[in-house]
Amino acid sequence: MTIKTPIYMDNSATTQCDPRVVDKMVRYFAEDFGNAASRNHAFGWQAESAVDQAREEVALLLGAHPKEIVFTSGSTEANNLAIKGVAEMYASKGRHLISCVTEHKAVIDPLKHLEQQGYEVTWLEVDGMGRIDLEALRGAIRPDTILVSLMAANNETGTAHPIAEIGALCKERGVLFHTDATQVVGRMPIDVQSQGIDLLSLSAHKFYGPKGVGALYVRRKSPRVRLAPLMDGGGHERGMRSGTLNVPGIAGMGEAARLAREEFDQNVAKVQALRDRLEQGILAGLPDAVVNGDTEHRLPHLSNISFPYVEGESMIMGIKDVAVSSGSACTSASLEPSYVLKSLGLGDELAHSSIRFSVGRFNTEEEVDFVVDLVVREVTRLREMSPLWEMVQEGIDLSKVKWTHH
Amino acid sequence: MAYSDKVLDHYNNPRNVGALDKSAKDVGTGVVGAPECGDVMKLQIQVDDSGRIVDAKFKTYGCGSAIASSSLATEWLKGATIDEAMQIKNTQIVEELALPPVKIHCSVLAEDAIKAAIDDYRTKQGAEAPAES
Ligand SMILES: Cc1ncc(COP(=O)(O)O)c(C=O)c1O
């Protein structure tokens, strides 16, 4: 079998839409193109029935009630709606929120926005594996705390937070709990009841659905969560999200949710086996490569690895036959290392030389073996070219060298 | 990010990677840069009695443009006299490799590495043979 390059191993950025999902969507563009809010004719009823079915599927996936699902354009919007919606609605109760420094920008930035409006945010720190300290969370909760927002698993390192424990703690203290579960859907079990989740964000394109559609789960009972909408308009989605529904997208997400639920065990087993094969292969070939994050509690499909003594950009150049993400948000103008990896205590240098591999269920063992070979070969080649590697071989302690800063 | 064909060529087939005996009297070694800045270059020259560079080697930790700049520098150094080597300017490297503005610092580093290697060689010669010149 010949391998087609580049090989896609960036499934935490997005996934390929499942062909069954695409099939499901097509008829809602041309045939059943109605507006789900049209109550007077069959076009509208068809669309509404597609939306209802999708709502049912998304709810089933989360252990929720269909009436608790609000469709959005994705996780960014869902996070904004949860955070700003709670902040506005509960402002008379308090103006304090708790989150963490490793959250996605789609949580950090809405919170920063609130800080500018006079809200106060406690930013929890993480340890070297990206884990929060539950006692620190307990200590941060105050009488005026209205929301704890902590992601289910991190998009860069894969580290999973103990969601059920956080949910229980929030319940005990009477604080609402929002989780950004974008990376977790279809990859780790989610159950809003047993995990004590009040609000949960998801995005269809991370679980083999279409881009530009997602949802926010909003608890309806014990407690009933109320939200101020981000947008005012026709009052769709029980007033929480106005705007004509994206019927094809929602139908696609429903189908993706059904597949994620029904094929959960086999999908997780597959990506985990591929990830483990990849990680073990790379570590066997490059013993001083370092796996970042919590290797025990983490996403099954992701491995974030630092390669000491080789520089990140040259590495990406060397392994261009595989599509991955790097630890440096490397725009042409700046080489800013990842804030997530830095918060784990990685130096700029290691953060720069880290690669996020995230496999998906369309990857194969042959592709994994090809990537292992490629990475081991390129890192070895670049190391042989590296004066840092040479110094280390000579027994020089790099931290003691006097470098010429420029 | 788009690299020029010349950068890609040097990155894929770097010239003169390796090390010379840094304790030898006729070898000058220059190490410039810092790991946290993203690049470290080590450049070495071996010089014969007439002041001509007979061999040059490099090792670089850095992006593709840094690797290419130092690889190109060793090509230019081999066969050059010390005086000619002192004339190499970073702008020539920028031009030859078609480096974009964000990568100009790579060429500056390569020029610094050349100067540092020559300095080291001259210091050694001065220390060993104070009578000369
Ligand atoms: C953890 C996390 N939250 C939020 C998002 C944003 O999702 P979207 O761009 O689909 O709105 C992403 C995707 O990059 C993510 O990984």
Q: Which atom of ligand 1 is nearest to the CA of A106?
A: 4
Query: What pLDDT shows up at residue A363?
Result: 98
Tell me, what's the pLDDT at A312?
87
Q: Residues B17-23: what's their mean pLDDT?
A: 96
pTM for the full predicted model:
0.93
Indicate whether A280 and A209 sit together in one domain: no
Band of the pLDDT at A355, cuts 50, 70, 90? very high
Of A201, A229, A262, the position where a domain reaches its end is A262
Q: What are phi and psi of A358, to 5 degrees?
A: -135, 110
Reported confidence tier of residue A406, pLDDT bands at 50, 70, 90: low
Contact by Cβ (8 Å): B28, B112: no
Q: Is residue B128 scored above 90 in pLDDT?
A: no
More confident residue, B120 or B102: B120
Looking at the fold, whether A316 and A349 belong to one and the same domain comes out as yes
Calculate what percentage of chain A has a pLDDT beyond 90.
91
Name the 3-class secondary structure at A125: coil
Q: How far apart are CA A392 and CA A335, in angstroms?
A: 25
- The question of whether B106 is a catalytic residue gets the answer yes
Is residue A98 domain-shared with residue A212, that is, in the same domain? yes
A214, A240, A262: which is the final residue of a domain?
A262
CATH number at residue A159: 3.40.640.10
Task: Examine residue A34 and state whether it is found in any structural domain, yes or no.
Answer: yes
Q: Is A402 on the interface with B (CB under 8 A)?
A: no
Asked if residue B1 has pLDDT above 80, the reply is no
Closest residue in B to A310 (Cα) is B61
Span A146-166, average pLDDT: 98
Residue A395 neighbours by CB under 8 Å, 6+ apart: none
Contacts with B67 from chain A: Cβ below 8 Å: 314, 385
Residue nearest atom 12 in ligand 1 by C-alpha distance: A182
Would the CB atoms of B33 and A404 count as touching at under 8 Å? yes
pLDDT score of B133: 45
Of A221, A237, A262, which closes a domain?
A262
- Same domain for A221 and A320, yes or no, is no
Q: What is the pLDDT of residue A351?
A: 87
Query: Are the Cβ atoms of A404 and B34 closer than 8 angstroms?
Result: yes
Question: Do A235 and A136 fall into the same domain?
Answer: yes
Does A321 contact chain B (CB < 8 Å)? no
Q: Kindly state whether residue A135 falls inside one of the protein's structural domains.
A: yes
Do A245 and A296 have their domain in common?
Answer: no
Tell me the nearest-neighbour CA distance from A183 into chain B, angstroms. 27
Does A224 fall in a domain?
yes
Counting ligand 1 atoms within 8 A of each CB, the residue from A107, A182, A207 with the most, and so the one to mutate, is A182
- Per the structure, the complete domain to which residue A382 belongs is given by 7-14+264-400
Nearest to B35 among A330, A398, A406 (CB): A398
Alpha-carbon gap, residue A101 to A107, rounded angstroms:
10
In a domain, A157, yes or no: yes
Domain membership of residue A2 (yes or no) is no
Q: Which two tokens stand for residue A149?
A: 């927002």
CB burial readout B12-24, b (16+ within 10 A) else e: eebbbbeebeeee
What average pLDDT does chain A have? 95
- Mean pLDDT across A148-175: 98
Cα A203 to averaged position of ligand 1 atoms, centre (Å): 7
A274 and A238 assigned to the same domain? no
* Protein residue whose Cα sits closest to atom 16 of ligand 1: A155
Q: What is the pLDDT of residues B33-70, one digit of tens each?
A: 998 888 999 999 999 999 999 999 999 999 999 999 99
* Residue A406 domain-assigned (yes or no): no
- Beta strands across the sheet bearing A354-358: A290-292, A302-306, A354-358, A325-326
Q: Determine the distance in angstroms separating the CA of A346 from the nearest CA of chain B, rounded to an integer.
A: 11
- For residues A313 and A285, which has the higher predicted lDDT (pLDDT)? A285
- On the question of pLDDT at A309 being above 60, the answer is yes
pLDDT of residue A328: 62
- Per the annotation, the verdict on A17 as an active-site residue is no
Answer yes or no: do A292 and A256 share one domain. Answer: no
Residue A144 in any domain: the answer is yes
Question: Does any CB of chain B come closer than 8 Å to the CB of residue A317?
Answer: yes
CB contact under 8 A, B36 and A348: yes
> Total structural domains in chain A?
2
pLDDT tens track for A197-241: 999 999 999 999 999 999 999 999 999 999 999 999 999 999 999
Spell out the alpha helix ranges (H) of A141-299: 163-173, 247-262, 264-285
Q: What is the mean pLDDT of residues A54-66?
A: 98
A297 occurs within a structural domain: yes
With a cut of 70, say whether residue A331 has pLDDT above it.
Answer: no
Question: Could you give the C-alpha distances from A346 to A96, A314, A368, B1, B53, in angstroms and in order?
Answer: 30, 19, 27, 25, 41
Write out chain A residues lying below 8 Å of B32, CB-based: 404, 406
DSSP string, A377-393: HHHHHHHHT-HHHHHHH
- ipTM for the predicted complex comes to 0.93
Amino acid A352: pLDDT? 83
Of A317, A332, A387, the CB nearest to B61: A387
Q: Specify the pLDDT at position A299.
A: 98
B51 Cβ under 8 Å from any chain A Cβ:
no
Task: Kindly state whether residues A249 and A303 are assigned to the same domain.
Answer: no
